[in-house]
Structure 1
Amino acid sequence: RNLLHARRYPSMTLNLLLTPVMLLLLFVYIFGDTMSAGIGDGGPDRSAYIAFIVPGLLLMTIGSTTIGTAVSVSTDMNEGIIARFRTMAIHRSSVLIGHVVGSVLQCVMSVILVGAVAVAIGFRSTDATVLEWLAALGLTALFATALTWIAVGMGLASPNAEAASNNAMPLILLPLLSSTFVPLDSMPGWFQPIAEYQPFTPAIETLRGLLLGTEIGHNGWLAAAWCLVLAALGYRWSTARFNADPK
């Protein structure tokens, strides 16, 4: 049902996709030479900056796509369709699980689309093996699942679709405060721990390691831990709100 809505009304999905695509084009073609001067030892290199920025923008795509999930859940809760579902012979949790599965599929498709744009403008991952590509895909799916459960909770806690959209904005803002655009060691010392241990940075660095061969270190465990914690918290929050809602 949710995937059918996305197909019939693609404007929201396309609008959410525009943010990472526009940021990709902006930072590569407007700021690329300047930003790449601080990466590597060979001076400005736009292709190096494309490789650096793409993993972060792929995960930022997931964050922006899940905002649509929060809006969709809030809309369902306020339009009376949930009350009708509760009179039908379906499992109560299937309503939320349907939203999550549909959103994860949309996130994966969105990542593929943004990745295709990145490849078209010069992104390459020639050293990654098939196993590393599969691990990267698994990481994006796990990260999408975790953020989707959080977005579902935000949608259930919001009084209307507009509030749900606003409440879910941290899912776009957090990547801006991570290592998406600049390395951690170029940030102010007091800010580095904030950027390093928030959910997006470990996942970004893990994705960079898988696709580009950079050092992963402890980021792989941190990324997995963040995904599991966020998914568990989002699931408990969402199911508690859904079961308590009288509508």
Structure 2
Amino acid sequence: MSGKVYLVGAGPGDEKLITLKAVELLKKADVVLYDRLVNKKIISMIPKKTEKVYVGRDVGDDYKHQESTNDLMLKFAKKKKNIVRLKGGDPTIFGRGGEEAQYLKQHKIKYEIIPGITSGIASAIYSGIPLTHRKYASSVVFVTGHEDPEKKKEAVKWKKLAKSVDTIVIMMGLSRIEIICKELAKGGMKKSVPVAVIQNGTTTSHRMILGNISNIAKQVKQKKIKSPSIIIIGKVVELSKTIGWKK
């Protein structure tokens, strides 16, 4: 009989946005494998007796890193441990939660997936940007700016997105923001379309800059915006000037 793995979303940054179920599981876990973007205050919620293993990675780390994380889950599960695999945001929104669930299923390890608030939504809300609005946006899409490097060609069709969706939320795309904006413009998106870039969303160092398709890449460099950052493109960005609530 093996242990069980809980793939848990820690939320977007503000430690108070973690779910009650996630906190409950952290208190009962034998082992917690946690990522780079998990708030340190959440780590402090874990009992001292619990084994804590850092498995964080940066954008661009190779897949050998993921393999080692998979190996750790399997190793502890075989020791009949209850494991929390703690991920920033939501485990299945560009967090490899689906891949890890497949791996556990393949090795006949019991698991549950516990949702978390994804940073793409929370960062927007904390910045006064509603991703949908009856007058401005009836559709929203979440896109990764950093795809699997082993793919033969990029799957995201930026030119098609330019005219097919009202709000675009890009995660892990800061290093490619200039290329992305150029592709959207080639697809017919007006260069005046507003863009927000939000750094460290929902945390005490939450920071946002505003621009448009034609100038946002330059502003990112000038204002030294760093990762982790979320990019939001669409008319709803303008609403941050009137309904922004967080000071």
Report the TM-score when normalising by structure 1.
0.25
Report the TM-score when normalising by structure 2.
0.25
